[in-house]
Structure 1
Amino acid sequence: MNPLTSNNPSMDSNYYWDLLMKGNRQGLEGLYKEYIVTLFNYGIALSKDENFIQDCIQEVFIDLWKYHKSLGKAVHVKAYLLRALSHKIFRENQQKTKLLTVEWKDGIDNTIVVESIESELIDIQREKGLQIKLANALDKIPLRQKQAIHLLFFEQLSYEEVSKLMGINLRSVYTIAWKAIANLKKHIVSGISILVFLTLLQFY
């Protein structure tokens, strides 16, 4: 399944957010139009059930309207919505399976390893065949690791932003990202670089 292709934000998200806080439905509609593609692509990275993801997104916006009077002004809107969707997905899955509660322990600080990989993700060509292999590899890694990879490489959030969004400390973000990369390596065909796979992640 190919994710939706692009978003076309028309106005500043803070403008829509302010309208929403004032009880103006145009604010809610503006945020929905601006971030629906981003939220859908993020959700599909966590679950392949499109209907489930669409329902979760709808519930996020229902909650936004329901609790708009209690929203704060100082908000990074994109990170707020991604976090809200992430919590919604995990809560719904936990209610269904009760198998998704995982504790993550801090490991070695792999800052240098992960950031050195990022620095090499330049000028590598897009290849359809490797995209398929990447998709298969991503489906084999734990959900928490897939979430971190998506936020870092799809959404291009900083490690600090991912730390706040996932509710974990900065070292844990580096650790999870490093583990995800190590797990992806296990599923890579001999002779194909992990750097190629991570670069193709931008186009998956």
Structure 2
Amino acid sequence: MKAKTLQFKTFDDNTLWNNLKDGDEKSFSILFEKYYTDLVRYGNSLSPFAEKVQDCVQDVFTDIWVYRNGLQNSVVVKAYLLSSVRKRIARLHERDRIFRKATSTDTIAFLLEFSVENDLVDDDYATREKVVHLNKLLNDLPSRQKEALYLRYHQGLTVEQIAEMLEVNYQSASNLLHRGLLTLRKEWKGSFSLIFLLSLTAC
């Protein structure tokens, strides 16, 4: 896995994107392999139906290839892919009537459970107890705050990109992040940086 990660880092997303727009199948395959797992994991956070999520992710890549000539020249590839998966799952919810019929993605609940790994932090019993408490605080946050934190600290998206994905303005996205962090900071008294711990959470 580490070797594959290093291999992917040698390829610039913008170069791969522009190459696939020109019909380069290898660049398309590299992007697919690079992001497929992350996209499925994110899709699973929005829908409990794993097979349908995988279909949605594959459909996103299929559309990218079929309609490659009409793609924008300059995009943040990771943000574009995550947003595309989110929109497709929203349409899936609407079509299958799993949730109430919606015209936007703001009704999707974020389903993943956060878990800061104890063994990545400390062997100290008191610290481990605090981490258990932090996990509970994270998972008790409102769905939109959890998703915003996930996109910011797991996927590395900017506030602007999060706002676009969640179909809200910049200030609303910033507020989601701020409120989530504020709730956690009120309770977290450990020696480790809260941002550091968020980067270690496994979903």
- Normalised to the residue count of structure 2, the TM-score between the two structures is 0.67
Q: Distance in 2 between matches of 1:35 and 1:99?
A: 30
How many residue pairs get matched?
A: 177
TM-fit CA distance, 1:181: 4.2
Q: Which amino acid letter does the alignment assign opposite residue 169 of structure 1? A: N
Aligned residue among 126, 135, 139 for 2:121: 126
Q: Which residue of 1 aligns with 2:110?
A: none
Counterpart in the other structure of 1:70:
70
Write the deviation string for residues 75-124 of structure 1: whole angstroms up to 9, x where unpaired.
111111111111112221233323384798xxxxxxxxxxxxxxxxxxxx
Q: Once the 2 structures are TM-superposed, how far is the Cα of residue 179 of structure 1 from its aligned partner? A: 4.0
Matched, 1:98 2:99: yes
Quick check: 1:46–1:147 contact (8 Å CA) kept in 2?
Answer: no
- Per the alignment, in what secondary structure is the counterpart of residue 152 of structure 1? helix
Structure-2 separation of matches of 1:100 and 1:136? 31
Q: Which ranges in structure 1 are unaligned for 5 or more consecutive residues?
A: 105-124
Distance 1:138 1:45 in 2: 15
* Partners of 1:45 and 1:134 in 2: CA distance: 20
- Larger RCO: 1 or 2 (CA < 8 Å, sep 6+): 1
Worse-matched range after superposition: 42-51 or 20-29: 42-51
How far apart in 1 are the matches of 2:34 and 2:131? 26
TM-score by length of 1: 0.67
Mapped partners of 2:2, 2:53: distance in 1: 16
CA distance in 1, matches of 2:165, 2:171: 14
How do 1:47-86 and structure 2 match up within 5 A? Answer: 47=47, 49-86=49-86
Deviations 1:104-159 (A, max 9, x none): 8xxxxxxxxxxxxxxxxxxxx62677666656555544443222111111122221
Q: Any gaps of 5 or more consecutive residues in structure 2?
A: 107-119, 123-127
- Decide whether the 8 Å contact of 2:105 with 2:166 is kept in 1: no
CA RMSD between the two structures: 3.6
Q: CA deviation at 1:61?
A: 0.6
> Partner letter of residue 70 of structure 2?
S
> Does 2:197 align with 1:200?
yes
Q: What is residue 156 of structure 2 aligned with on the other side?
A: 156
Deviates more, 1:49-58 or 1:190-199: 190-199
Deviates more, 1:74-83 or 1:34-43: 34-43
Distance 1:63 1:141, change over 3 A: farther
User: Alpha-carbon deviation of 1:70?
Assistant: 0.8
Distance 2:135 2:163 in 1: 24
Q: Is the 8 A contact 2:87 2:105 kept in 1?
A: no
